C-alpha cells in the first residue's frame, strides 16, 4: 500500500509499505480522508521520531475485522481517535484523560496518511465512532480538532456573556470562535496577521477582527470591553508574541488558554507579582478525549458548526508532499485534507 512517510518538514515521501495485519480484536480501515494538523508541521516535535507516517485526523471504511470484534462490521464508515485513555488510573479517575500513561501508547498504525491503517482494540472500543450518513468523510476529519477546542473552552469555564479573544485564526482558532459563540460568548475578538483568515473568522461568529500589524489589539480590546479586558484569551498561535499579547488583553481574574506550544528554548518572562495581584489563570489544554469527540460529532451532525467551510485544500495521497507544503506555506489555507484512493 502507499503511505506518506515524514522524513522532515519539507521531505515527505510516498512509499510502499505492507498492509497492516490485524489481530482478533482489531479492525483494518481504508483511509478515505485525513486532515493535516498544525502539530504535523512542527519539525522540532517530530524530527526525533522520523521517519514515520503521520495523520491523526482520519476517517474511512472498515474493510476487515477480527473474529472477536463486536459492534462494528465491514463497510462501516468510521472516525478513529488515535489516542485513548485507560479510564482506570489516577489521572483518568480525575478526568485528566490526556495525561493517562496509556494515552500515547495507543496509536493507529502506521498512521492516517496511508491507504490502510489498523485500529488497536482500546481505540476501537472507546473512541471509534460511526459516521452518520449526512456527514462526509472530509467533514469527519474535523471531529478531532473540534473535540480539542471543546475541551479547551470547557477547561476555561467559558460562560454565557463572556468576552473572548482568540489569538490566531487558523483552523483551530476559527473553531474556537464558533464554539465560543455556541457556548454563549457575548463578544468574540479574533486576531491574526492574515486578512484571509480574519474574513473566515467573521463568517464563523467573530464580532471584531484585528490584524495587529495594522491596528493595536490591546486598544481594540479595551475599547470593546469598557477598559476591562476579555474574560478568556485563547492563544492558538505558537508564538511568544501571541502569548505576550494575551497577557495585555485579559481582565483581572481572567484566563489565558495555552492551546499551542512554542518551540523548545523559547520562554515568556513575566513576574509572578503580576499574576498574583491580578489573579490571572493559565490553563493549558492538550489534545482531546472520548468525551469531547462525541460532542464534536454532534455539533457537526446537527450543523451547529460548518466544518466543511474550513476545508480550503484537498490533495490525493500521492500528492502528500504538496499537501504539506500548502499547509506550511500558503497563507490562504485553513484545513488541508489528504484524500484516500477509490
**For 238-297, what is each residue's pLDDT tens digit?**
999 999 999 999 999 999 999 999 999 999 988 899 999 999 999 999 999 999 999 999
Which pLDDT score, from 0 to 100, does residue 158 have?
96
Do 254 and 335 reside in the same domain of the chain? no
Domain, as residue range, for 206:
157-284
Examine the domain organization and report whether 12 and 26 are in the same domain: yes
pTM (predicted TM-score): 0.97
Predicted confidence (pLDDT) at residue 106 exceeds the cutoff of 90: yes
- What CATH number did the domain enclosing 234 receive? 3.40.50.720
User: Considering the domain boundaries, does residue 152 fall inside one?
Assistant: no
Q: Is 320 part of a structural domain of the chain?
A: yes
Q: 3-class SS at 235?
A: strand
How far apart CA 27 and CA 121 sit, in angstroms, is 8
Q: What is the pLDDT of residue 247?
A: 96
Same domain, 14 and 97: yes
Same structural domain for residues 113 and 177?
A: no
Q: Are residues 122 and 72 in the same domain?
A: yes
User: What is the CATH number for 324?
Assistant: 3.90.180.10
Q: Is 136 in the same domain as 12?
A: yes
Distance CA 302, CA 306 (A): 9
Mean pLDDT of 208-230: 98
Are residues 169 and 246 both part of a single domain?
A: yes
Per-residue pLDDT tens digits for 54-89? 999 999 999 999 999 999 999 999 999 999 999 999
Domain boundary among 252, 284, 316: 284
> Looking at the DSSP assignment, which residues form a beta bridge with residue 313?
336
Does 190 lie in the same domain as 140? no
Residue 179 located in a structural domain: yes
Are 292 and 279 members of one domain? no
Residues 114 and 226 in one domain: no
Cell of 317: 495521497
**Both 260 and 132 in a single domain?**
no
Weakest-pLDDT range from 92-106, 262-276, 305-319: 262-276
Instruction: Provide mean pLDDT across the span 45-57.
Output: 94
Assigned domain for 151 exists = no
Residue 95 belongs to a domain: yes
The number of domains in the chain is 2
**Cell output for 275:** 499574576
**Helix, strand or coil for residue 238?**
coil
Are residues 275 and 208 in contact, defined by beta-carbon separation less than 8 angstroms?
no
- Whether 280 maps to a domain, the answer reads yes
Is 190 found in the same domain as 255? yes
24 to 1, 67, 247, 327: CA distances (angstroms): 22, 5, 52, 37
Residue 99 belongs to some domain of the structure:
yes
Amino acid at each position: 500500500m502507499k503511505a506518506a512517510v515524514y522524513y522532515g518538514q519539507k521531505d515527505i515521501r510516498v512509499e510502499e509499505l505492507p498492509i497492516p495485519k490485524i489481530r482478533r480484536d482489531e479492525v483494518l480501515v481504508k483511509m478515505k480522508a485525513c486532515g493535516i494538523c498544525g502539530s504535523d508541521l512542527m519539525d522540532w516535535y517530530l524530527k526525533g521520531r522520523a521517519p514515520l507516517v503521520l495523520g491523526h485526523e482520519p476517517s474511512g471504511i472498515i474493510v476487515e475485522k477480527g473474529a472477536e470484534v463486536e459492534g462494528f462490521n465491514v463497510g462501516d464508515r468510521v472516525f478513529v481517535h488515535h489516542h485513548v485513555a485507560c479510564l482506570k488510573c489516577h489521572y483518568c479517575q480525575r478526568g485528566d484523560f490526556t495525561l493517562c500513561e496509556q494515552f500515547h501508547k495507543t496509536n493507529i498504525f502506521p498512521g492516517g496518511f496511508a491507504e490502510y491503517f489498523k485500529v488497536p482494540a482500546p481505540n476501537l472500543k472507546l473512541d471509534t465512532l460511526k459516521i452518520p450518513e449526512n456527514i462526509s468523510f472530509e467533514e469527519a476529519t474535523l471531529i478531532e480538532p473540534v473535540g480539542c477546542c471543546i475541551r479547551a473552552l470547557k477547561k476555561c469555564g467559558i460562560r454565557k456573556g463572556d468576552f473572548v479573544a482568540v489569538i490566531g485564526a487558523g483552523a483551530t482558532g476559527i473553531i474556537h470562535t464558533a464554539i465560543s459563540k455556541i457556548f454563549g460568548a457575548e463578544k468574540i475578538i479574533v486576531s491574526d496577521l492574515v486578512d484571509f483568515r480574519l474574513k473566515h473568522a467573521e463568517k464563523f461568529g467573530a464580532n471584531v477582527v484585528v490584524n495587529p500589524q495594522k491596528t493595536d489589539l490591546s486598544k481594540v480590546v479595551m475599547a470593546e470591553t469598557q477598559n476591562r479586558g476579555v474574560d478568556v484569551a485563547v492563544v492558538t498561535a505558537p508564538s511568544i508574541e501571541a502569548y505576550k499579547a494575551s497577557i495585555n488583553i485579559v481582565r483581572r481574574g481572567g484566563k489565558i488558554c495555552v492551546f499551542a506550544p512554542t518551540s523548545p528554548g523559547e520562554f515568556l518572562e513575566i513576574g509572578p507579582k503580576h499574576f498574583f495581584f491580578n489573579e490571572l489563570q493559565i490553563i493549558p489544554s492538550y489534545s482531546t478525549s472520548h468525551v469531547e469527540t462525541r460532542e464534536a460529532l454532534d455539533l457537526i451532525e446537527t450543523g451547529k458548526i460548518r466544518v466543511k467551510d474550513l476545508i480550503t485544500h484537498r490533495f490525493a495521497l500521492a500528492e502528500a508532499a504538496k499537501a504539506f507544503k500548502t499547509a506550511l506555506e500558503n497563507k490562504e489555507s485553513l484545513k488541508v485534507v489528504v484524500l484516500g484512493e477509490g
